[in-house]
Structure 1
Protein backbone atom coordinates (compact mmCIF):
# COMPACT_ATOMS: atom_id res chain seq x y z
CA UNK A 1 0.00 0.00 0.00
CA UNK A 2 1.47 3.32 -1.09
CA UNK A 3 1.37 6.32 1.25
CA UNK A 4 -0.60 8.93 -0.72
CA UNK A 5 -2.54 11.87 0.63
CA UNK A 6 -4.77 14.38 -1.11
CA UNK A 7 -5.09 17.94 0.16
CA UNK A 8 -7.72 20.41 -1.01
CA UNK A 9 -7.06 24.06 -1.81
CA UNK A 10 -9.66 26.68 -2.71
CA UNK A 11 -7.89 29.38 -4.77
CA UNK A 12 -8.15 32.69 -2.93
CA UNK A 13 -7.50 36.24 -4.17
CA UNK A 14 -4.10 36.31 -2.42
CA UNK A 15 -2.98 33.35 -4.56
CA UNK A 16 -3.69 35.17 -7.82
CA UNK A 17 -2.04 37.68 -10.10
CA UNK A 18 -3.82 40.57 -11.88
CA UNK A 19 -5.36 38.13 -14.39
CA UNK A 20 -6.99 36.12 -11.56
CA UNK A 21 -4.65 33.19 -12.28
CA UNK A 22 -2.64 31.45 -9.56
CA UNK A 23 0.82 33.02 -9.49
CA UNK A 24 3.56 30.47 -10.19
CA UNK A 25 5.24 30.91 -6.80
CA UNK A 26 2.01 30.10 -4.92
CA UNK A 27 2.13 26.49 -6.06
CA UNK A 28 5.18 26.00 -3.85
CA UNK A 29 3.05 27.07 -0.87
CA UNK A 30 0.44 24.50 -1.92
CA UNK A 31 3.16 21.80 -2.08
CA UNK A 32 4.56 22.68 1.34
CA UNK A 33 1.09 22.63 2.92
CA UNK A 34 0.33 19.30 1.22
CA UNK A 35 3.62 17.87 2.51
CA UNK A 36 2.69 18.92 6.05
CA UNK A 37 -0.68 17.18 5.57
CA UNK A 38 1.18 14.08 4.38
CA UNK A 39 3.42 14.18 7.47
CA UNK A 40 0.31 14.46 9.67
CA UNK A 41 -1.19 11.40 8.06
CA UNK A 42 1.86 9.15 7.78
CA UNK A 43 4.66 10.33 10.07
CA UNK A 44 3.17 11.74 13.26
CA UNK A 45 3.23 15.29 11.90
CA UNK A 46 6.08 17.74 11.63
CA UNK A 47 6.27 17.84 15.41
CA UNK A 48 6.83 14.07 15.38
CA UNK A 49 9.73 14.45 12.96
CA UNK A 50 11.27 17.17 15.12
CA UNK A 51 10.74 15.10 18.28
CA UNK A 52 13.03 12.48 16.71
CA UNK A 53 15.86 15.02 16.92
CA UNK A 54 15.91 15.78 13.20
CA UNK A 55 14.52 18.55 11.05
CA UNK A 56 13.83 18.62 7.31
CA UNK A 57 15.25 21.12 4.84
CA UNK A 58 14.50 21.42 1.15
CA UNK A 59 17.60 20.96 -0.99
CA UNK A 60 15.95 20.86 -4.40
CA UNK A 61 12.53 21.47 -5.90
CA UNK A 62 10.92 22.14 -9.24
CA UNK A 63 7.54 22.48 -10.88
CA UNK A 64 6.15 21.91 -14.36
CA UNK A 65 3.03 23.92 -15.11
CA UNK A 66 0.53 22.09 -17.31
CA UNK A 67 -2.42 24.46 -17.07
CA UNK A 68 -3.78 27.47 -15.21
CA UNK A 69 -5.73 27.55 -12.00
CA UNK A 70 -7.94 30.55 -11.37
CA UNK A 71 -9.66 32.37 -8.57
CA UNK A 72 -12.12 30.15 -6.66
CA UNK A 73 -11.01 26.90 -8.33
CA UNK A 74 -10.99 23.89 -6.03
CA UNK A 75 -7.69 22.08 -6.43
CA UNK A 76 -6.57 18.67 -5.22
CA UNK A 77 -2.88 18.25 -4.38
CA UNK A 78 -1.82 14.61 -4.42
CA UNK A 79 1.34 13.91 -2.42
CA UNK A 80 3.44 10.74 -2.36
CA UNK A 81 7.04 9.66 -1.84
CA UNK A 82 8.93 9.41 -5.13
CA UNK A 83 12.28 8.32 -3.66
CA UNK A 84 13.37 7.39 -0.17
CA UNK A 85 17.06 7.48 0.65
CA UNK A 86 18.92 7.00 3.89
CA UNK A 87 19.05 10.75 4.62
CA UNK A 88 16.67 12.26 2.06
CA UNK A 89 13.11 11.97 0.88
CA UNK A 90 11.86 13.15 -2.51
CA UNK A 91 8.15 13.88 -2.65
CA UNK A 92 6.03 14.05 -5.81
CA UNK A 93 3.08 16.41 -6.08
CA UNK A 94 0.29 16.52 -8.67
CA UNK A 95 -2.17 19.43 -8.66
CA UNK A 96 -5.50 18.72 -10.31
CA UNK A 97 -8.66 20.66 -10.98
CA UNK A 98 -11.24 17.93 -11.46
CA UNK A 99 -9.48 15.54 -13.89
CA UNK A 100 -7.14 18.15 -15.41
CA UNK A 101 -3.52 18.16 -14.25
CA UNK A 102 -2.53 21.76 -13.57
CA UNK A 103 1.00 21.23 -12.21
CA UNK A 104 3.47 18.49 -11.28
CA UNK A 105 6.37 18.95 -8.92
CA UNK A 106 9.06 17.30 -6.83
CA UNK A 107 10.80 18.43 -3.68
CA UNK A 108 13.74 16.74 -1.99
CA UNK A 109 14.05 17.05 1.77
CA UNK A 110 17.17 16.16 3.76
CA UNK A 111 17.07 15.25 7.45
CA UNK A 112 19.44 17.45 9.45
CA UNK A 113 20.55 17.92 13.05
CA UNK A 114 23.21 20.27 14.35
CA UNK A 115 23.92 21.58 10.85
CA UNK A 116 24.62 18.25 9.16
CA UNK A 117 22.65 15.50 7.49
CA UNK A 118 21.41 12.59 9.59
CA UNK A 119 19.43 9.42 8.83
CA UNK A 120 15.75 9.94 8.13
CA UNK A 121 13.52 9.42 11.18
CA UNK A 122 11.89 5.97 11.26
CA UNK A 123 8.39 7.02 10.07
CA UNK A 124 9.96 8.50 6.92
CA UNK A 125 12.62 5.90 6.18
CA UNK A 126 10.45 3.42 4.29
CA UNK A 127 7.04 3.56 2.64
CA UNK A 128 4.98 0.37 2.39
CA UNK A 129 5.76 -1.37 -0.89
CA UNK A 130 9.03 0.56 -1.38
CA UNK A 131 12.55 -0.25 -0.35
CA UNK A 132 14.81 2.57 0.81
CA UNK A 133 17.64 3.51 -1.54
CA UNK A 134 21.11 2.71 -0.23
Structure 2
Protein backbone atom coordinates (compact mmCIF):
# COMPACT_ATOMS: atom_id res chain seq x y z
CA UNK A 1 0.00 0.00 0.00
CA UNK A 2 1.30 3.46 -0.90
CA UNK A 3 1.91 5.90 1.94
CA UNK A 4 -0.59 8.75 2.16
CA UNK A 5 0.96 12.20 1.67
CA UNK A 6 -0.72 15.41 2.82
CA UNK A 7 -0.03 18.56 0.77
CA UNK A 8 -0.03 22.08 2.21
CA UNK A 9 1.05 25.30 0.50
CA UNK A 10 2.50 28.48 1.97
CA UNK A 11 3.83 31.67 0.43
CA UNK A 12 7.11 33.22 1.62
CA UNK A 13 6.50 36.76 2.85
CA UNK A 14 8.93 39.54 3.66
CA UNK A 15 8.60 38.78 7.39
CA UNK A 16 10.01 35.28 6.71
CA UNK A 17 13.24 36.57 5.19
CA UNK A 18 16.44 38.44 5.89
CA UNK A 19 17.41 41.66 4.07
CA UNK A 20 18.59 39.58 1.10
CA UNK A 21 15.22 37.92 0.65
CA UNK A 22 16.38 34.50 1.91
CA UNK A 23 14.15 32.60 4.36
CA UNK A 24 15.46 32.44 7.94
CA UNK A 25 16.31 28.88 8.96
CA UNK A 26 13.83 28.98 11.88
CA UNK A 27 10.94 29.90 9.58
CA UNK A 28 11.08 26.47 8.00
CA UNK A 29 9.98 25.10 11.38
CA UNK A 30 6.90 27.35 11.22
CA UNK A 31 5.97 26.01 7.78
CA UNK A 32 6.47 22.42 8.96
CA UNK A 33 4.37 22.99 12.10
CA UNK A 34 1.50 24.50 10.12
CA UNK A 35 1.51 21.54 7.73
CA UNK A 36 1.42 18.99 10.59
CA UNK A 37 -1.42 20.89 12.28
CA UNK A 38 -3.45 21.09 9.06
CA UNK A 39 -2.78 17.40 8.41
CA UNK A 40 -4.29 16.46 11.80
CA UNK A 41 -7.16 18.87 11.15
CA UNK A 42 -8.14 16.85 8.06
CA UNK A 43 -9.04 14.06 10.50
CA UNK A 44 -11.07 16.45 12.65
CA UNK A 45 -8.42 16.37 15.38
CA UNK A 46 -8.07 19.93 16.56
CA UNK A 47 -5.09 20.65 18.79
CA UNK A 48 -7.31 23.10 20.68
CA UNK A 49 -9.98 20.45 21.34
CA UNK A 50 -7.36 17.97 22.55
CA UNK A 51 -6.10 20.62 24.92
CA UNK A 52 -9.54 21.63 26.20
CA UNK A 53 -11.12 18.17 26.48
CA UNK A 54 -8.19 15.91 27.28
CA UNK A 55 -5.69 18.36 28.82
CA UNK A 56 -3.18 16.85 26.41
CA UNK A 57 -1.32 17.85 23.28
CA UNK A 58 1.16 16.72 20.67
CA UNK A 59 4.55 18.32 21.36
CA UNK A 60 7.76 18.11 19.37
CA UNK A 61 10.25 15.76 21.02
CA UNK A 62 12.96 15.78 18.39
CA UNK A 63 13.59 17.03 14.89
CA UNK A 64 16.19 16.37 12.23
CA UNK A 65 16.26 19.04 9.53
CA UNK A 66 18.31 18.97 6.35
CA UNK A 67 18.42 22.42 4.72
CA UNK A 68 19.32 21.86 1.09
CA UNK A 69 18.46 24.94 -0.97
CA UNK A 70 17.24 28.28 0.37
CA UNK A 71 13.69 29.46 -0.15
CA UNK A 72 13.32 33.08 -1.16
CA UNK A 73 10.88 35.96 -0.93
CA UNK A 74 7.58 35.30 -2.73
CA UNK A 75 8.27 31.58 -3.34
CA UNK A 76 5.21 29.38 -3.23
CA UNK A 77 6.22 26.45 -1.05
CA UNK A 78 4.61 23.03 -1.04
CA UNK A 79 4.97 21.08 2.18
CA UNK A 80 4.50 17.31 1.99
CA UNK A 81 3.72 15.49 5.23
CA UNK A 82 3.36 11.80 5.93
CA UNK A 83 3.47 9.57 8.99
CA UNK A 84 6.39 7.16 9.06
CA UNK A 85 5.66 5.45 12.36
CA UNK A 86 3.09 5.36 15.15
CA UNK A 87 4.06 4.17 18.61
CA UNK A 88 2.21 4.12 21.89
CA UNK A 89 2.76 7.78 22.79
CA UNK A 90 4.51 9.18 19.72
CA UNK A 91 4.31 9.80 15.98
CA UNK A 92 7.17 10.20 13.55
CA UNK A 93 6.49 12.46 10.58
CA UNK A 94 8.44 12.78 7.35
CA UNK A 95 8.17 16.25 5.84
CA UNK A 96 9.59 17.97 2.79
CA UNK A 97 9.38 21.60 1.75
CA UNK A 98 9.46 21.99 -2.01
CA UNK A 99 9.42 24.73 -4.61
CA UNK A 100 7.93 23.15 -7.69
CA UNK A 101 9.65 19.72 -7.78
CA UNK A 102 12.84 20.91 -6.07
CA UNK A 103 13.27 19.78 -2.43
CA UNK A 104 14.48 22.73 -0.36
CA UNK A 105 14.28 21.14 3.07
CA UNK A 106 13.70 17.63 4.43
CA UNK A 107 12.70 16.92 8.05
CA UNK A 108 11.95 14.01 10.32
CA UNK A 109 9.86 15.09 13.30
CA UNK A 110 9.02 13.02 16.37
CA UNK A 111 6.06 14.28 18.38
CA UNK A 112 4.95 12.92 21.72
CA UNK A 113 1.40 12.93 23.07
CA UNK A 114 1.69 14.57 26.49
CA UNK A 115 -0.61 14.87 29.51
CA UNK A 116 -0.11 18.57 30.20
CA UNK A 117 -1.08 18.28 33.86
CA UNK A 118 1.66 15.75 34.56
CA UNK A 119 3.94 16.91 31.73
CA UNK A 120 4.54 13.27 30.80
CA UNK A 121 3.91 11.25 27.65
CA UNK A 122 0.71 9.19 27.62
CA UNK A 123 -0.82 6.80 25.12
CA UNK A 124 -2.27 8.39 22.02
CA UNK A 125 -6.07 7.98 22.17
CA UNK A 126 -7.14 4.90 20.23
CA UNK A 127 -9.51 6.86 17.97
CA UNK A 128 -6.60 9.03 16.77
CA UNK A 129 -4.25 6.06 16.47
CA UNK A 130 -6.76 4.06 14.42
CA UNK A 131 -7.40 6.94 12.01
CA UNK A 132 -3.71 7.70 11.50
CA UNK A 133 -2.67 4.05 11.17
CA UNK A 134 -4.65 3.89 7.91
CA UNK A 135 -2.36 6.61 6.50
CA UNK A 136 0.84 4.61 6.74
> TM-score normalised by the shorter chain: which range applies?
0.7 to 0.9
How many residue pairs get matched?
A: 130
Determine the structure 2 residue equivalent to 1:41.
Answer: 42
Determine the structure 2 residue equivalent to 1:97.
Answer: 99
Which whole-Å CA distance do the structure 1 matches of 2:7 and 2:127 have between them?
A: 19
SS of alignment partner, residue 133 of structure 2: coil
Runs of 4+ in 1 over 4 A off after TM superposition: none
SS of alignment partner, residue 114 of structure 2: strand
Which whole-Å CA distance do the structure 2 matches of 1:121 and 1:26 have between them?
A: 30
Most deviating of 111-120 and 92-101: 111-120
Mark the runs of 5 or more structure 2 residues left unpaired by the alignment.
none
**2:123 is the alignment partner of 1:119:** yes
Q: Following superposition of structure 1 onto structure 2, how do residues 17-56 of structure 1 map, counting pairs within 5 Å?
A: 17-50=18-51, 51-56=53-58
Alpha carbon RMSD of aligned pairs, Å? 1.8
Structure 1 pair 129/21, CA: closer, same or farther in 2 (3 Å)? closer
**TM-score scaled to structure 1, two decimals?**
0.87
**2:83 is the alignment partner of 1:77:** no
Which whole-Å CA distance do the structure 2 matches of 1:91 and 1:83 have between them?
A: 7
Q: Is the 8 A contact 2:4 2:135 kept in 1?
A: no
Once the two structures are superposed, what CA deviation does each residue of 1:68-125 show, in whole Å capped at 9, x if it has no partner? 1110000000111111111111111111100101100011111111221110123442
**TM-score scaled to structure 2, two decimals?**
0.86
